[in-house]
Amino acid sequence: MVNIDWSSLGFQYMDTRCHVRYVWRDGKWSDGEEVSEPYLNMHIAASCLHYGQEAFEGLKAFRCKDGKVRIFRPQANGERLVNSARRTCMAPVSVELFVEAVRRAVRANEDYVPPYGTGGSLYIRPLLIGTGPQLGVAPAREYTFIVMVMPVGAYYRGGLKPVRALVVEDYDRAAPRGMGDVKVGGNYAASLYAHEAAKRAGYPVELYLDPKTHTYIEEFATSNFLAITKDGTYVTPDSHSVLPSVTNNTLQQIAADLGMRVERRPVPFDELESFAEVAACGTAVVATPVYEITRGDKVITISDPETSGPVLQKLYDTVQGIQYGVLPDKHGWCVDI
Ligand SMILES: *Cc1c(COP(=O)(O)O)cnc(C)c1O
């Protein structure tokens, strides 16, 4: 057994038993291997280093109430990586290879999955990079696909904690027809500067507007935007430059299952003050309630800074219930390892 203090886990890198690694050469993937050294010996002209041929994913495995470990919606992440690989001209990872690689990495590190009841989970980070040397600008001819895993702690101990957000006016994270809808590291590099500035100003999350007109809400830097209207409708922006979040998709389905109306549509910034609840959603934390949003001199208060709204809490509890095998998994989201 591994010796980890599950109660003090945060969200940070830690060595585990191994990661799994596949290499694409001569038009096909290797059989993959389990590698214990957390280093990669790479050509200095690798295309990921120079031209940003890189895409990644993020998903989780949970130790369920019955003791079994299950992965949450790996096919959905696999489909997204297929799209990322296409858009960045990288070697195709099929959904089948993706799911098998993820299961293999989790199986090999099963004792790193936090016990049921600790609120922790195993974070899974698949990574696809161009590793072939490429000086002229063109897709590389060699790729490496890695799946690494890491135990992470409960983000919220004792209830959801609402935060305030800042609207980013001086920068955009994506262009109107750019790569905003593709999960690539470049989008993160593009948002770090504004993120650090927002953090210094006391805002843990930043909200981006549509890059063309800055009149519609897009998403937070690393998580989607969702709102609950005063009459209980789930609203989330529909935009080409928003990353299709698996968590958002899951929450929309759960909201519909609970009998709520779900709207995916352009969301004007001016509509913000009419919402009853707002949240940032993504795999790492499921949903972070946002109680206040600042844009320039204007501060828009949405909800009580002390507690999560009732609808968000219900959605959050339902997702977690399904992930930990406490509520029925009627959509077949949880995959055995
Ligand atoms: C990964 C990511 C999200 C969240 O997606 P999930 O699949 O829910 O984890 C949201 N926005 C951006 C920009 C992302 O990169």
Residue with more model confidence, 158 or 291:
291
Predicted local distance difference test score (pLDDT) of residue 158: 65
The CATH number that applies at residue 194 is: 3.20.10.10
Mean of pLDDT values over 7-18: 94
To test the ligand 1 pocket, which listed residue (57, 223, 241, 319) has its Cβ within 8 A of the most ligand atoms? 223
Predicted local distance difference test score (pLDDT) of residue 72: 98
The verdict on 228 and 99 lying in the same domain is: no
Whether the CB-CB separation of 118 and 150 falls below 8 Å is answered with: no
Residues with catalytic roles? 183
Predicted local distance difference test score (pLDDT) of residue 307: 85
Mean of pLDDT values over 188-206: 96
Task: Please report whether residue 157 resides in a domain.
Answer: no
CA distances from 148 to 1, 14, 57, 58, 114 (A): 19, 10, 10, 10, 16
Which of 105, 123, 152 terminates a domain? The answer is 152
CA 143 centroid distance within chain: 23
Q: Is the pLDDT of residue 17 over 90?
A: yes
Whether the CB-CB separation of 143 and 90 falls below 8 Å is answered with: yes
The verdict on 60 and 188 lying in the same domain is: no
Task: Please report whether residue 333 resides in a domain.
Answer: no
The verdict on 169 and 304 lying in the same domain is: yes
Average model confidence (pLDDT) across the chain: 96
Helix (H, G, I), strand (E, B) or coil at 313: helix
The verdict on 99 and 186 lying in the same domain is: no
Closest C-alpha among 319, 239, 243 to residue 81:
243
Q: Is the pLDDT of residue 155 over 90?
A: no
Whether the CB-CB separation of 290 and 282 falls below 8 Å is answered with: no
Task: Please report whether residue 332 resides in a domain.
Answer: no
* Helices 246-257 + 74-87 axis angle, to 10: 140
Task: Please report whether residue 293 resides in a domain.
Answer: yes
Q: What is the 272 CA–ligand 1 centroid distance (Å)? A: 21
* Torsion sign across C-alpha atoms 149, 151, 155, 156: positive
Mean of pLDDT values over 244-261: 98
The verdict on 170 and 315 lying in the same domain is: yes
Which of 89, 119, 152 terminates a domain? The answer is 152
Least confident segment among 2-16, 65-79, 124-138, 263-277: 2-16
pTM of this prediction exceeds 0.95: yes
Which of 117, 152, 187 terminates a domain? The answer is 152
Tokens matching residue 117: 């009841």
| Percent of the chain's residues with pLDDT above 70 | 99
Whether the CB-CB separation of 260 and 233 falls below 8 Å is answered with: yes
Least confident segment among 95-99, 291-295, 305-309: 305-309
Q: What is the 3 CA–ligand 1 centroid distance (Å)? A: 31
Least confident segment among 32-46, 86-100, 153-167, 258-272: 153-167
Predicted local distance difference test score (pLDDT) of residue 308: 83
Predicted local distance difference test score (pLDDT) of residue 237: 98
Mean of pLDDT values over 117-142: 97
Task: Please report whether residue 331 resides in a domain.
Answer: no
H or E element at residue 84: helix 74-87
The verdict on 201 and 70 lying in the same domain is: no
The CATH number that applies at residue 144 is: 3.30.470.10
Q: What is the 222 CA–ligand 1 centroid distance (Å)? A: 6
Tokens matching residue 246: 């698996």
The verdict on 67 and 215 lying in the same domain is: no
Of all protein residues, the one whose alpha carbon is nearest to atom 12 of ligand 1 is 222
Total H helices, total E strands in the chain: 6, 18
CA of 220, closest atom in ligand 1: 11
Whether the CB-CB separation of 158 and 286 falls below 8 Å is answered with: no
Task: Please report whether residue 52 resides in a domain.
Answer: yes
Structural domain harbouring 226: 163-323
Q: Are strands 205-209 and 163-167 parallel, antiparallel or unpaired?
A: parallel
Mean of pLDDT values over 221-238: 97
Residue with more model confidence, 282 or 158:
282
The verdict on 144 and 176 lying in the same domain is: no
The verdict on 142 and 179 lying in the same domain is: no
Ligand 1 site: residues with CB under 6 angstroms? 58, 183, 187, 219, 222-224, 243, 245-248, 282-283
Q: What is the 72 CA–ligand 1 centroid distance (Å)? A: 15
Whether the CB-CB separation of 321 and 333 falls below 8 Å is answered with: no
Q: Is the pLDDT of residue 1 over 90?
A: no
Mean of pLDDT values over 271-289: 96
The verdict on 101 and 120 lying in the same domain is: yes
H or E element at residue 229: strand 224-229
Predicted local distance difference test score (pLDDT) of residue 130: 98
The verdict on 284 and 319 lying in the same domain is: yes
Task: Please report whether residue 329 resides in a domain.
Answer: no
The verdict on 139 and 186 lying in the same domain is: no
Count how many domains the chain has.
2
